[in-house]
Amino acid sequence: MIQREIGYFFGALRFFTRLPVPAWVGHSQDALDRAARYFPLVGILVGVSGGLTFLLAAFVLPVSLAILLSMATTLLVTGAFHEDGLSDAVDGFGGGWSKEQVLAIMKDSRIGSYGAIAIALMLLAKFNALLELPDEWIAPAIVAAHAASRFCSTALIYALDYVRDDDSSRARPLAVRMGAGSLAVAGLFGLAPLALLPWQAAGAGLLLALLTTFLAARYFAKRIGGYTGDCLGATQQGAELAIYLGVLAAAWNFS
């Protein structure tokens, strides 16, 4: 059983990052369905890579450059997987009127004006939010945000229906709605790193992230009747930024 769960985790790691996994890890529809519970744990590893990069770089470089290097590290580790989802989702919802148009645009591999602007603004917003934090909060905030934001996107798999009926989507393996037990496991991994932050900051960040997720879920359900993989990526990015903003608001008001 333990080896099976480890295999599910490595399946999630392989799906969402470019990090190597053991050769014995197999590939199956069932394994990927069950891997969703470990998405926030993957987020912890991504966040740790960014946080460690920041801490090491901050010894010899200005904080602004250390933050840029930490962001670059997380982008390299994930292959900009979620940022790509954000751009596709914004292009789709911005350029399509009907459900069919939205899904067709999101499936197009080319990036449009809406998507390019969304990525640029998102990266700028995350950079500036982190830059305004107290230096000692930056690394913990990176770890907590990457973990909790992936729990937020995972919650959509629990709450909404997958709306594509073709087999070509990268998120097709996630199309099976997850159970309450798996959501609880995801919540444990996703929320635990918030303890690295002062409780006011953790609470503010989580509250804003949950609000962002709720509004995103309502919007996706209204426009297309559920979610796609790009919707999950957009939710992760929005929730990550929301956590930074919530933590920043707490830093300004309580520190």
Q: Express as a percent the part of the chain with pLDDT over 90.
A: 74
Tens of pLDDT, residue by residue over 63-99, are: 999 999 999 999 999 999 999 999 999 999 999 899 9
Tens of pLDDT, residue by residue over 180-232, are: 888 999 999 999 999 999 999 999 999 999 999 999 999 999 999 999 999 99
CB atoms within 10 A of CB 109: 6
Q: Bridge-partner residues for 227, per DSSP?
A: 162
pTM of structure: 0.93
Measured distance CA(129)–CA(255) in Å, rounded: 16
The runs of H, that is alpha helices, within 98-228 are: 99-107, 113-131, 135-159, 180-191, 199-224
The 8-class DSSP code of residue 129 comes to H
